[in-house]
Structure 1
Amino acid sequence: MTIATKDFDPVTFDIIQNALEAVADEMFVAQRKTSMSAIIYEVLDLSTSILDRHGQIAASGAGIPAFIGVLDKAVRGILKKFALAEVRPGDVFASNDPYFGGVTHLNDMVLVAPVFDGERLVAFVANIAHWNDVGGSVPGSMSSEATEIFQEGVRIPAVKLFEEGRPNRAVFDILEVNTRLPDFLRGDLWAGISGLKIGEKRVLELVAKYGADTFEAAMEDYMRLGERRARAALQALPKGSFTFEEEQDSGAMHRVTMTIREDAFVVDLSDNPRQKGSSNSSREGTEIAVQLAFKAFTDPDAPGNGGFFRPLQVVTRPGTIFHVEAPGALGYYSEVEIRAFDMLLRAFASWFPGVVPAGNFASICGTVVGGPHPETGRHYTIVEPQLGGWGAWEGRDGPSGQFSGFHGETFNCPAEVAEARYGLSVDQAALNAEPGGEGQWRGGKGIDVHYRVRADDNFLSVGYTRSRIPPWGVAGGRDGSTNYVELRRKDGTRERLSFATNVAVNAGDVIRVVTGNGGGYGDPRERSREAVAEDLKDGYLTPERAREIYGFET
């Protein structure tokens, strides 16, 4: 049924649309405040959305942009498995399986609830959050050595967690027995359920106030607004086809061809390497990476709803890293998606100079540490994405110590929380003083953080890209620096890591996390004397480097 939106008051539409954004934010806050794991309540590794009855995103809360894009695809996966007649009031669906609407990897649990006004389905509410451990071959459930999804943890393939309000105890039991952290999983699960309940309640209040027809018409109108904005931006772009390729740390080449037409923006990623190991993305995950780049490039201020992405077409080839086929592993899917996102931004920078800044550190830099807590003996697992440097652009230095644009509105875990909750001491938390990213405007600084291990029999797993090839400079600016982990053993030996799984670490060992400086913009010789003096004062530059790079005597 399509509702004629012209028959309704546009002011009421605007009130409902803004109310939906507020409801999604309230869902986010409820889940954050009741979660057990710091990856959720501190880092904010979650997202929330309200979707229309067809599963299109109508409004989203704060959180990771790449997560928000999961939720419409997750609902489509549920509706593919369950006929609409099987979706009933009181149902709650759960899915973490990328082959059944989970989209990302097994650590990320999607929860979805339909919203009924009587017997009429009017919307869905949904959330997604990273759980620290869902079983699998290694603690933290993320292994760069995995070759099949079966090695990565328990698979929940779009099942009913609640059926008409009655909990499916079997699913709860399966989840809890397949994790090394059952109490944390249980707490994070119920936090997600509480977020859905808040969303359902608030949506029904809107429906009761304005009527179901008006509510649905407002969502449809919002979709049309998103589509109009996207098509208007598309009209302003030069038409044609553009091809770009980029070398990766491994030496492999990633390629993209974009075709801009009057009616569509086509991104073709079919000519890319075969799937391999755990660094693969689902077809839907790749679509999210492209959606984020498309929106950032065309109209960052437009509504990020389902309507906005209607002109976008994504082409992939099954069996490649951007379209994994079962039973391929996806533990480090995020590094594949961020490589696609970053390559598209670099392509835009090449084809449309001045639109996109210099390169950024462009990695999630996933860091997993765990083992017995030195004081309680209880098993802990810390899962940390890392901050890094963004690229400079004309007139501005790049921001320092930020998450990637792909990872979005998240935060680092404070040192005080890390020390209280985990078996680590934070010896240093500083910006990266290494060379890289010099220019008339310099790239932002990455971080240099030292975690000291406090007990024996701990482990470390990492997954960093841009560990060999640094962020690119623009207009004569210098390239930035790379991401890596330096493991400093108590005996004085050192190891440099980018991808590693279950590395043994013991009391006294130091895990040094170093993330890249962003690329610079413009000829370094044009940098102002005041800016160079400030860099010297902050310790980001030595007198020798000031002479070498900027030509300044100090």
Structure 2
Amino acid sequence: MDIVTYEILRNGLYATAREMKLAMMRTAGSPIVHSGGDASAAVFDAEMQLVAQGNDIPTMLGSAVISTKVSVEAIGRENLRPGDVIISNDVYLGGGNHQPDVQFTRPVFADGEIVAFVMTRGHWTDIGGQAPGSYTAMTWDVFAEGIRIPPILLYREDKVVADVLNLIVQNTRDPSVRLLDIQAQYAGCFVGDRRVAAMVRKYGKDALRDAMARALDHSERLMREAIRAIPDGVYEAEDEIEPVRGPAGWPTAPIPIRVKVTKQGDGIHFDYAGSGPQTRGGINCPFSVTCNSTWFTVKAITDVAIPINQGCYRPVSISAPDASVVNCAFPASVVAGNTETSPRIIDLLLKALAPAVPKRVVGQSNCGAFSGIFGGMDPDEARVRRTGRRFVGMIDPHAGGMGARATKDGVNGVRVYVGNAGSTAVETIEQTAPLLVQEWSLVPDTGGAGEWRGGLASRRVYRVRYEEATFTACGERGIHPPLGQFGGGAGGLFQCEIRRGDSVTRVPAKAGHEIVQRDDVVLLQPAGSGGYGPPERRDRARLLDDLRDGYITPEALERDYGLTAADAAALRAEAADA
């Protein structure tokens, strides 16, 4: 195949994945999908190898390497027909990452032969379970996290299987919104099928197959070259995961996570032996999530320009103890393992690899979705008539700090690592839910001090307009702050509180849900991030800018950056003059 045809086909596959996600976002019912973009799409070859993906949610796409193969094999490729769509979300039977993320898989046929598979995955605002939003970490087992959907056919030859559809949507709190999400994901798969089929008609099945194989081999070759540049050696690190704040009798000790990284030649192995056993509460990681966190880290420390597909992962091998917090066994609950434990694993790997690639790592980051979840009946009769929905659930992923880098400050108010969704727009929240957003701001001093300062956390404050609703917070780093690299300081901790008149209730990072009522005020603030390099080496002009921008308080000059009282006073005066 000539290079021009190859590049047309390769780029066409990536463009197809991007168009599939746009089709989902335009028609989805959940604000977290249509506004926050918490959805992903990808194209797989006929052997279920991921060959092209959008710039979407890494935790969805990495785990899809496993879940797509499991889904097809569960149905049997010989049983699939044109227009079929498999639905699945089950961690144990379907290879998923957590139950709110629902995958649709569709075969693409040409001349009666499967030539590719297309996949969409979206985060549903509610999937059932013990609390509205289906996102509480205080769960005894996976059954409390919502309806489990093993790989089954939801569409047969482009016709919905009505009984399956009804069974699924009626096990959620807002079935009309679930129906829109289902139709949106089906539309994304439909678009992908049509685009890939058009390539086959123009270039032929053999050309498509050869281009896919070549793309996988090309990414593998580039990744092996990038890994070869990392010094050979054994690199180790350990950390601990904060436990769920459960009732009496639940585990209260932190859960250790450990890794040994062995780099030799153009291959790299990650061994998680020594990590703690799986635990009560939804902070366990299925193996698919641990694999995804590992693959993500390797990609991040090598070359971001390598086209992302399954070829990137061929030089990487992974082992993890069975029934551990990084490779849990049925029926352990997992909902926050995907969003909170997973980025903690990435910080662990960066800690281990810092001596090998000091210029490629960052200070520890906020490490979580830090979602604020509300659910209850809408008292606004006009909105109920307009939308046809009495129950309103809202999930709002929050933005913390990203750690400082070797030559730059960290990023303020951003989702990091495998969680690439955006916070929900304030206008969308206030239009669709009984909530008023009173504040959305960056929080000074939450970025760790350093030669390069860590990124700041953002804070959101809601006033409740429900008459009564549940509120659930799910986050990380409520106990252990994000540390800096190479002498950088630690960032700020997670904070959440509910103000009811003159009383204040502190909400832990991982606990059950609270009941809120009209005019209660809820504050949710993710963790910040760590700095990079000794704080005393920070350039004076940057400190001045930080003061003027409100990124640090005047007190931080002496407390965090070691300035003398006289130098701090002079800098404060210069900032005030501006």
When the two structures are superposed, what TM-score results if normalisation uses the length of structure 1? 0.95
Could you say what secondary structure the match of 2:470 adopts?
strand
What's the counterpart of residue 387 of structure 2?
none
4+ residue segments displaced more than 6 Å: none
* Alignment counterpart, residue 363 of structure 1, candidates 349, 364, 368: 368
| Residue 62 of structure 1, CA deviation | 2.8
Matches within 5 A, 1:152-163: 152-163=145-156
Aligned AA for 1:355? R
Q: State which drifts further: 223-232 or 452-461.
A: 452-461
Deviation at 1:264, TM superposition (A): 2.4
**CA contact under 8 A between 2:446 and 2:529: conserved in structure 1?**
no
2:461 paired with 1:456: no
2:225–2:266 contact (8 Å) kept in structure 1: no
Q: How far did residue 81 of structure 1 move?
A: 1.4
User: Aligned residues, how many?
Assistant: 546
Letter in 1 for 2:52: A
Give, in whole Å, the separation in 2 of the partners of 1:257 and 1:521: 23
Q: How does 1:399-418 map to 2 (within 5 A)?
A: 399-408=411-420, 410-418=421-429
Letter aligned with residue 181 of structure 2: D
Distance 1:263 1:436, change over 3 A: closer
Look up the equivalent residue of 1:547 and give its one-letter code. E
| Alignment correspondent of 1:240 | 233
Q: 2:174 touches 2:391 (CA, 8 Å); kept in 1?
A: yes
Aligned to 2:99: 106
Q: 1:269 aligns with which of 267, 272, 279?
A: 272
Amino acid across the alignment from 1:203: V
Residues 402-481 of structure 1 mapped to structure 2, 5 A cutoff: 402-408=414-420, 410-481=421-492
Q: What is the Cα deviation at residue 199 of structure 1?
A: 0.6
| 1:149–1:517 distance in 2 versus 1, CA, 3 Å | closer
Give the match for residue 179 of structure 1.
172
**Structure 1: tracts of 5 or more residues without a match:** 1-7
**SS across alignment from 2:513:** strand
Q: Which of 381, 386, 389 is the equivalent residue of 2:398?
A: 386
CA distance in 1, matches of 2:98, 2:532: 36
Distance 1:487 1:350, change over 3 A: farther
Contact 2:268 2:316 in 1 (8 A): yes
Q: Distance in 1 between matches of 2:200 and 2:163?
A: 34
| Equivalence map 1:2-21=2 (5 Å) | 8-21=1-14
Paired letter, 1:364: A
Q: Residues of 2 paired with 1:46 and 1:168: CA distance?
A: 23
Matched letter for residue 204 of structure 2? G
Matched-pair contact (CA < 8 Å) for 1:432–1:516: no
Deviation at residue 263 of structure 1 after TM alignment: 4.8
Deviations 1:460-506 (A, max 9, x none): 11221111111111232211111221222223323242112221111
- Report the 3-state secondary structure (helix = DSSP H, G, I; strand = E; otherwise coil) of the residue aligned with 1:198: helix
User: Is this contact kept in 2: 1:71–1:127, CA < 8 A?
Assistant: no
Deviations 1:401-439 (A, max 9, x none): 11112212x221111111111111101000012455112
Query: Residues 247-396 of structure 1: matches in 2 within 5 Å?
Result: 247-250=240-243, 251-277=254-280, 278-334=282-338, 335-376=340-381, 378-396=390-408
Alpha-carbon contact 2:446-2:456 (below 8 Å) kept: no
Q: Which residue of 2 aligns with 1:3?
A: none
Distance 1:319 1:394, change over 3 A: closer
Q: Which whole-Å CA distance do the structure 1 matches of 2:538 and 2:221 have between them?
A: 42
**For 1:29 and 1:544, how far apart are their aligned partners in 2?**
46
The structural deviation recorded for 1:247 is: 3.0
| Superimposed CA distance per residue, residues 345-392 of structure 1 (whole angstroms, 9 cap, x where no aligned partner) | 222224432321212111121221121223137211111221111112
CA distance in 1, matches of 2:226, 2:363: 23
Q: State, as a whole percentage, how many aligned pairs show the same letter.
A: 32
Counterparts of 1:125-136 in structure 2 under 5 Å?
A: 125-136=118-129
Q: Which of 497, 501, 505 lines up with 1:486 in the alignment? A: 497
Task: State the Cα distance separating 1:15 from its structure 2 match.
Answer: 0.8
> Which residue in the other structure is 1:521 paired with?
532
Please report the TM-score for the alignment, with normalisation by the length of structure 2: 0.91
Q: Which moved more, 1:76-85 or 1:11-20?
A: 76-85
CA distance in 2, matches of 1:308, 1:57: 10
Do the aligned residues in 1 keep the contact of 2:470 with 2:514 (CA within 8 Å)? yes
Give 1:249 shift: 3.1
In structure 1, C-alpha distance between the alignment counterparts of 2:455 and 2:75, rounded to whole Å: 48
**CA-based RMSD:** 1.6
Flag structure 2 segments of 5+ consecutive residues without an equivalent: 244-253, 385-389, 573-578
Distance 1:104 1:300 in 2: 24
Query: Secondary structure, in 3 states, of the residue corresponding to 1:543?
Result: coil
Note the 1:58-137 alignment, pairs <5 A. Answer: 58-137=51-130
